[in-house]
Amino acid sequence: MEFAPLPWSSRLSFTLVLSAALVAGCSREEPVDPQAEVAEAAAGQLTGMIDRSRAGDLMPAVTLTDPTGRSLNTGALSGQPVLLNLWATWCAPCVEEMPLLDALAGEYEGKVRVLVASQDLQGAEKVVPFFQANRFRHLEPWLDRETLLSSALGGDGVLPTTVLYDGSGQEIARVVGGYDWQSPEARALVDEAIAE
């Protein structure tokens, strides 16, 4: 059975829909060829917006692990503001914002904990080489292979997703999609968490 090729306008529509999906963020499912997606993604994907619609929600209690087997219960993080970032090595906007998060973590060390939780299904196998190659100075490689945080945050699986919590564990705001964490708006948001 032969299929007729799509008309030119249908191919254009499909291309536009696919492009919009890539710019909006990354789906939580890993693509068939993650390296190809990163290579093909255009720079400048930091298009996330601050969303305060879930302000007041409590930080979910999920146990993360690091590559050495150490564990961390996110529900026990209180007394200090937390910037919780869900990311993956195959997600272009995630990769683009990681150095910005590392710099932010250095600037706010002791005042805000910047916690990055990888949603890579292969866990340490992907995350450890990524951290080694990028030589982050302030971020720790936490793993969430079962993507429990993504589910607990009630998101739609778009990566990156970053949520800012105050010292009592209540959400202040979130950003879905890549974000410039060195911008004046980002600093004002983080300063708000410290002031509460």
Kindly report, residue by residue over 130-164, the tens digit of the pLDDT: 999 999 999 999 999 999 999 999 877 899 999 99
Note whether residue 188 is domain-resident: yes
pTM: 0.79
Is 56:37 a contact under the CB 8 Å cutoff? no
5 assigned to some structural domain: no
pLDDT-flagged residues of the chain (< 70): 1-44
In a domain, 147, yes or no: yes
**pLDDT one-digit tens code per residue, 155-165:** 778 999 999 99
Phi, psi of 113 (to 5 degrees): -95, 120
Cα 115 to Cα 3, 9, 144, 169: the distances in Å are: 49, 45, 12, 13
Answer yes or no: is 13 within a domain: no
In 3D space, the residue among 155, 156, 125 whose CA is nearest the CA of residue 143 turns out to be 125
> Is 57 a member of any domain?
yes
* Radius of gyration, CA atoms only, the chain: 18
Host domain of residue 74: 26-195
Whole-number pLDDT of residue 176: 95
Q: Do residues 6 and 74 make contact, with C-beta atoms less than 8 angstroms apart?
A: no
At 115 the pLDDT is 97
Task: Look at residue 10 and tell me if it is in a domain.
Answer: no
**Residue 146 resides in a domain:** yes
Domain count, the chain: 1
Q: What's the pLDDT score for residue 37?
A: 43
Residue 78 has a pLDDT of: 82
CATH number where 176 lies: 3.40.30.10
pLDDT for the residue 13: 43
Tell me the two tokens of residue 28. Answer: 């939580």
User: Is 184 part of any domain?
Assistant: yes
User: What is the model's pLDDT at position 196?
Assistant: 82
